Amino acid sequence: MQYSTIFLAVASLVPSTFASPIAAPAVVHPANNNTFSAAAAPRFISGPCGNFPKISTWLSFEDMFNRNKNSMFSTGDTGEDVGRIWNAVIEAAKIGVDERVIFGIIMQESHGNVGVETTISPDGVPTAGLMQCSGCQGFPGQHGLSQDQITAMVRGGTQHFKANLQNWGNALSECSIYPALREYNSGSVNPNDLSDGRGATASYVSDISQRLTGWVD
């Protein structure tokens, strides 16, 4: 999807395109295993990748984003913040990650709060920003951020996830994406049970899979 203007209004969604390339992926560390999701999804899905929702059942990125706008505004985000999250996701996706997956991670990790706090992972590594990843920028308590600041947060998290995705075939398929989500959260994967959190958030993959199909918290 290509668009020509930046979305800044609360009532409409008009994203933009970018000319600048995304930097090479950062060195990968396990992402934070604590999330700011408001609640667990209605169902707890477990088992191998084939047990999770088919990509054919996912919402479009635009529909998914619109359904979550009120949740983002509830964090204190401005209309500009929300529009710039859209722009940042479109830009970050250019390295080969589905926009919906990026946005699902954002909503799971920070609820789209551009001023989300920085947390510390169990191994003592700070994890920051919209996608709560190690080595990523964060702006705790701040809103009304610039496009560059928001894009930096989303780019950093997407680069981490891209490395996870490459470990699982780097494909737009359930058996690449869902194990990669497990790895993003916990750093290791039991392919027979993607809800084996190994000390991380057990419902992580289950929750994001249901965000992709329409769940909003």
State the Cα–Cα distance between residues 203 and 209, nearest whole angstrom: 10
Phi and psi at residue 123, to the nearest 5°: -90, 15
Q: What percent of the chain has pLDDT over 90?
A: 77
Architecture of domain 49-212: Orthogonal Bundle (1.10)
What gap in Å lies between CA 145 and CA 151, rounded to an integer? 10
| The pLDDT value given to residue 189 | 98
Angle at Cα 95 formed by Cα 212 and Cα 51, nearest 5°? 30
> How far is 40 from 194, CA to CA, in rounded Å?
16
Mean pLDDT of the residues in the chain: 86
pLDDT of residue 42: 85
Residue 61 — very low, low, confident or very high, per pLDDT cuts 50/70/90? very high
Residue with tokens 């250019």: 94
In sign, the C-alpha dihedral spanning 14, 19, 25, 26 is negative
Rounded Cα–Cα distance for residues 65 and 82 (Å) = 10
Average pLDDT, stretch 119-131?
A: 89
Question: Where do the DSSP E strands lie in the chain?
Answer: 119-120, 126-128, 133-134
Stretch 67-73: mean pLDDT: 98
Reported as a single tens digit per residue, the pLDDT across 13-37 is: 333 333 333 332 322 333 334 555 5
Q: In terms of pLDDT, which residue wins out, 92 or 36?
A: 92
Identity at 3, one-letter amino acid code: Y
| 83: its two tokens | 């529009």
Half-sphere exposure of 206 (CA within 13 A, CB side): 18
Q: Can you tell me whether residue 84 is helix, strand or coil? A: helix
Q: Which residues pair with 127 in a beta bridge?
A: 119, 134
pTM above 0.85, yes or no: no
